[in-house]
């Protein structure tokens, strides 16, 4: 019998015992220490390290309640999904996710690679740091994890079992509400529009019937298209980064949905980084360096994704009809269309909805923030309404540049 | 303890005992008799009746092996799905499916409404009987069962549970192969082309790259679009009919797929009935009566479906974005596009694939059969390649009339 045969919420001392008893990770003579490093409102996150060898591990335990629900089943299932997905992603895109050493269903916790020497990418971008390898890393991650879990590559019966296994109703509902619905009609009264932009938002979003109609079409795509096992929350806050390495974390929203949901989120969050740099870097030369790198990264993310997607396809396609000449490019064009649509949705909801991004809210100068938001919202509308026309990185970037030129700096 | 506490394959005498012991259906003094009425290669079907009251019931038991697999799990799960779906369809479209009195998981059997006074619709159509109420019945069935199980109407979390519950990998694979793949490339060598049409098929189907590309697009729609709980095998052989009543049976292929898969199958199988009448009724006046009725029915099936679909939508829509002006008609237009695509697929696969329809194979005159097949295959190609242009019943019918005029009677 072990104290860990039944779930309880661990304190740092328990975590040390747990690491000694349950993990095959530290040397026998390890001198372990532990501290809690997370903010603990959904999961409790601990770092355990050995003073002798310097080895370290992160242990993440699900709390008994979740922020979004009192239902414990939700919590534990989220953690199972997260561990399983990270293990699968490591197989498909090695080196681009934290390693999982163990998942413990009873204790509802997992032991994973310690990424303490990485930083959250959104934070780094707000400090205007650049990551020249990021486009290469994220496109390898996306092309592999996304395409390899589709019917293009997988046996269709096994893929259907995966669809069942990763059905994620509660977390999908959050996305359905916050990304696809509320930004366009504020039907729950939870939107949080920057007051100086309120009239502009009423005129250009809430009273924009043709925009709402396109949002409805995109919502049904999200509700019904079991295309690929997507990450489901792939923004720059879900990425740990350092110059030579990128690690994608937190796949708790994963489910079978449209590929464009992941690729579109990356594009949109790069645009937020660009808008922050454009609005807050006073020195024109410094601004040109950071914003120029972001622009190049937007172009590379789209173009390298397209190129790798076709290469992964070529190397792994099993579905006989997917080998028909021209089908790969048609399929990819639909992914780019969805990418533009979702990038537009993300730009809307993170600017005027319940969940803001700090890239925008941290812009202290009021006139600069008004302008940054209007650029993002205008790009968003164009992406959504003309999503069928976006194929290359230049297509995506040109719209940003066009609206940046249209709203003059004050 | 009862002999029915453990599965065994029943003989007629066992079925009488079963009906007495397990069904609350016959009067106490019933004088029961039973005979087997099915052909028994997947399911064993018995009719039990009471000589005194005249009441009767059908008992359907799953065999221990299925035609398509030695896996008994498949058999029993198919029967669970069938009973559950019929019960659900009766709730959504009352009177249009056989009533289920009992489903018995242990014995893997169900007791259902006796439809001995109905005939299989395909057989009746081959005798050139007409059913003036059919269009009204089948469109009520389709508009209600199909739309009421979508995200337009259902709570999205509950709908996701339904998607999981009715995942149907083995039977979907049959459709994926026989409907979507083999007709276009014969990759398993199982196609069965009427020899005088072989060269024509090679030229117009197997060597038709642009057609195969469209088939690939449609296949991925079938693989990934969890739009609605569809019947999955809705041809005229799955319909029991008499002049005043229509009963849709055999939903063992049911799963969450595209609405157009059901509607398209109905349209295609009406075209086969038309082709049979057109090829085999010698008397022009008689031919005009039967074919005229089929033509009118094709138009009505499409137009009444459209009309009822919008009415059911209006009365039952719950998804807030689905209420956006114009979204219902856009959604319906995509359903009509899929209807044309699937009608084309069904016309192909039932003419040149493994599973023929008797409407065509029973045409004794060789020249008449060559012509009938070429009309069907030409309509099929047009439906698939220009599927975005089909909206009204007249659109569907005009293509049939056009190709009928193009291939002269010999």
Which pLDDT score, from 0 to 100, does residue B81 have?
A: 84
Phi then psi dihedrals of residue A23, to 5 deg: -100, 140
- Where are any strands of DSSP class E within B181-242? 228-230, 239-242
* Arithmetic mean of pLDDT, A157-168: 96
**Which residues from B are below 8 Å from A170, CB to CB?**
157
Q: A-side interface with B, Cβ within 8 Å?
A: 151, 156-157, 159-161, 163-164, 167, 169-170, 172-173, 176, 180-181, 184-185, 187, 209, 212-213, 215-217, 219-220, 223-227, 319-322, 324-327, 330-331
Phi then psi dihedrals of residue B148, to 5 deg: -70, -15
Rounded to the nearest angstrom, the minimum Cα separation between A164 and chain B is: 5
Q: Cβ–Cβ of A216/B324 closer than 8 Å?
A: yes
Strand partners, B248: B239
Rounded to the nearest angstrom, the minimum Cα separation between A355 and chain B is: 20
**Which residues from A are below 8 Å from B182, CB to CB?**
none
Q: Cβ–Cβ of B217/A156 closer than 8 Å?
A: no
Q: Between vectors from CA B85 to CA B79 and to CA B87, what angle results, nearest 5°?
A: 105
Nearest CA in chain B to A165: B164
Q: A165-206 pLDDT, tens per residue?
A: 999 999 999 999 999 999 999 999 999 999 999 999 999 999
Mutate to test the interface with A, among B225, B321, B326, B331 (most CBs of A within 10 A): B321
Poorest-pLDDT segment among A95-99, A101-105, A262-266: A101-105
SS3 for B54? coil
Which domains occur in chain B, in start order? 3-112 (3.30.200.20), 119-406 (3.90.1200.10)
DSSP state of A235: S
Round to whole Å and give the CA distance between B58 and B34: 9
| Mean pLDDT (chain B, rounded) | 94
* Arithmetic mean of pLDDT, A316-338: 98
DSSP state of B66: B
Which pLDDT score, from 0 to 100, does residue B63 have?
A: 77
Nearest CA in chain A to B165: A164
Rounded to the nearest angstrom, the minimum Cα separation between A288 and chain B is: 41
* Arithmetic mean of pLDDT, A337-359: 97
Nearest to B370 by CA among B222, B193, B124: B193
- Where are any strands of DSSP class E within A233-342? 239-242, 245-248, 255-257
Q: A401-410 pLDDT, tens per residue?
A: 999 999 988 7
| ipTM score assigned to the predicted complex | 0.94
**Which residues from A are below 8 Å from B324, CB to CB?**
209, 212-213, 215-216
Nearest to A320 among B167, B181, B325 (CB): B181
Q: Cβ–Cβ of B325/A213 closer than 8 Å?
A: yes
DSSP state of B115: -
**Which residues from A are below 8 Å from B169, CB to CB?**
156-157, 160-161
Mean pLDDT per 10-residue segment, chain B (410 residues): 90 96 94 86 88 95 61 62 94 98 92 96 98 98 98 98 95 96 95 96 96 98 98 97 97 96 98 98 97 98 98 98 98 98 98 95 97 98 98 98 93
| Mean pLDDT (chain A, rounded) | 94
Q: A218-252 pLDDT, tens per residue?
A: 999 999 999 999 999 999 999 999 999 999 999 98
């Amino acid at each position: 019998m072990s104290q860990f045969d039944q779930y309880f919420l661990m304190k740092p001392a328990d975590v040390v015992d747990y690491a000694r008893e349950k993990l095959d990770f530290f040397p026998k003579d390890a001198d372990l220490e532990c501290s809690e490093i997370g903010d603990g409102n959904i999961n409790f996150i601990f770092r355990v390290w050995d003073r002798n060898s310097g080895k370290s591990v992160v242990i993440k335990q699900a709390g008994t309640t979740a922020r979004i629900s009192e239902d414990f089943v939700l919590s534990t299932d989220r953690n199972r999904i997260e561990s399983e997905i990270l293990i699968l992603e490591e197989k498909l895109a090695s080196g681009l996710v934290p390693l999982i050493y163990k998942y413990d269903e009873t204790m509802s916790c997992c032991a994973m690679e310690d990424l303490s020497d990485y930083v959250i990418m959104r934070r780094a971008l707000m400090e205007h740091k650049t990551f020249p390898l990021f486009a290469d890393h994220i496109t390898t991650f996306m092309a592999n994890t996304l395409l390899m879990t589709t019917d293009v590559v997988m046996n269709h019966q096994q893929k259907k079992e995966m669809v069942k296994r990763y059905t994620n109703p509660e977390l999908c509902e959050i996305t359905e509400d916050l990304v696809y619905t509320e930004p366009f009609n504020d039907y729950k009264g939870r939107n949080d529009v920057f007051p100086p932009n309120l009239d502009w938002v009423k005129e250009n979003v809430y009273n924009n019937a043709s925009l709402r109609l396109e949002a409805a079409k995109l919502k049904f795509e999200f509700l019904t298209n079991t295309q690929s096992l997507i990450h489901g929350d792939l923004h720059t806050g879900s990425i740990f980064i350092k110059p030579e390495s990128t690690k994608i974390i937190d796949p708790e929203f994963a489910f079978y949905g449209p590929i464009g949901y992941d690729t579109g989120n990356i594009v949109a969050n790069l645009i937020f980084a660009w808008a922050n740099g454009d609005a807050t870097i006073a020195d024109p030369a410094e601004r040109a360096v950071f914003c120029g790198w972001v622009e190049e990264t937007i172009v590379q993310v789209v173009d390298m994704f397209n190129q790798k997607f076709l290469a992964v396809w070529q190397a792994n396609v099993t579905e006989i009809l997917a080998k028909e000449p021209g089908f790969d490019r048609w399929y990819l064009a639909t992914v780019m269309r969805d990418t533009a649509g979702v990038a537009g949705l993300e730009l809307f909801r993170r600017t005027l909805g319940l969940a803001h991004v700090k890239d925008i809210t941290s812009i202290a100068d009021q006139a600069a923030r008004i302008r940054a938001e209007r650029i993002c919202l205008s790009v968003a509308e164009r992406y959504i309404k003309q999503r069928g026309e976006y194929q290359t990185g230049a297509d995506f970037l040109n719209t940003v540049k066009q609206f940046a030129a249209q709203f003059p700096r004050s």
